[in-house]
Amino acid sequence: MQKEKIMFLLNLTYKKSLDDVTACLSAHLELLDKHYATGQFIFSGRKNPLNGGIILVRGDSLEAIKTLYQQDPFFTSGIADYEIINFTPTKYSDDYAPIIAHDHNTN
């Protein structure tokens, strides 16, 4: 039986202009890279139309996810609002089982 993981979908909605987003994008991408390296981030990308983005995150708690996104330059610069959706994957393709079962605390 596979161990359940807490997943969080971060739904970012831009509050400022795309010029402001572009000016802060490099720092935002650095933060993403940092969390991809830990195995905590699963995927991310922009929404279409371009009014924000989505990040799928594996986390230990809602509080930990709030701390994480509060470090994002998009948050600290007031560029985006963050909606957090907490869910437990209960059904998924076998192709994604290694991602769902991954324990980021054992890296």
Chain segment 43-80, per-residue pLDDT in tens? 999 999 999 999 999 988 899 999 999 999 999 999 99
54 CB-contact burial (10 Å; exposed 0-12 / middle 13-18 / buried 19+): middle
Which pLDDT value is given to residue 66? 94
Q: What pLDDT score was predicted for residue 24?
A: 97
Q: Give the span between the Cα atoms of 51 and 87, in whole angstroms.
A: 23
